[in-house]
Amino acid sequence: MGHGMNRSTTARERLDAVGAATVATTLQALATPSRLLILAQLQEGPHAATDLADAVGMERSACSHQLRLLRNLGLVSAERHGRSIVYSLYDDHVADLLDQAVGHVEHLRSPAARTADALEEPDLDAVH
């Protein structure tokens, strides 16, 4: 599993108030489309900050700001190569988190999921 994570315990069992706040902060970092686009680009491999800005259609200063935030939250790492700073995903957990989020949204948008949701909606007229 890596990083000492024990899958036999549930998130509820592992999560205390401080941990919940930390997880919430991490998930808030993923709540911005520009950051998600940066992370998705980094899933393909390391990129220089200037290349990332061009790839995701952002101003370089705005992209650098987002990268700094992502680095401070432990989602990306940075390494200087000459005059460039090259960014990469911090570890496989970040890629997995992004894949899970995208997969969840794709599942919710699927026709089968929408049909299942429609079948589960309560009939409010039947309630007295």
With a cut of 50, which residues of the chain have pLDDT below it? 1-2, 128
Cβ contacts of residue 48 below 8 Å, gap of 6+?
A: 81, 84, 85, 86, 87
**Residue at 87 is within a domain:** yes
| Count of structural domains, the chain | 1
**Residue at 127 is within a domain:** no
Supply the pLDDT for residue 14: 82
Supply the pLDDT for residue 10: 81
Do 90 and 78 contact (CB within 8 A), yes or no? no
**Residue at 27 is within a domain:** yes
Cβ contacts of residue 5 below 8 Å, gap of 6+?
A: none
- pTM tops 0.85, yes or no: no
Supply the pLDDT for residue 1: 41
**Residue at 126 is within a domain:** no
Supply the pLDDT for residue 11: 77
Supply the pLDDT for residue 87: 98
Supply the pLDDT for residue 15: 86
**Residue at 21 is within a domain:** yes
Domain interval for residue 102 = 17-120
Supply the pLDDT for residue 2: 47
**Residue at 4 is within a domain:** no
Q: Measured between alpha carbons, how far is residue 108 from residues 29, 32, 75, 105, 112 in Å?
A: 22, 19, 25, 5, 9
CATH at 103: 1.10.10.10
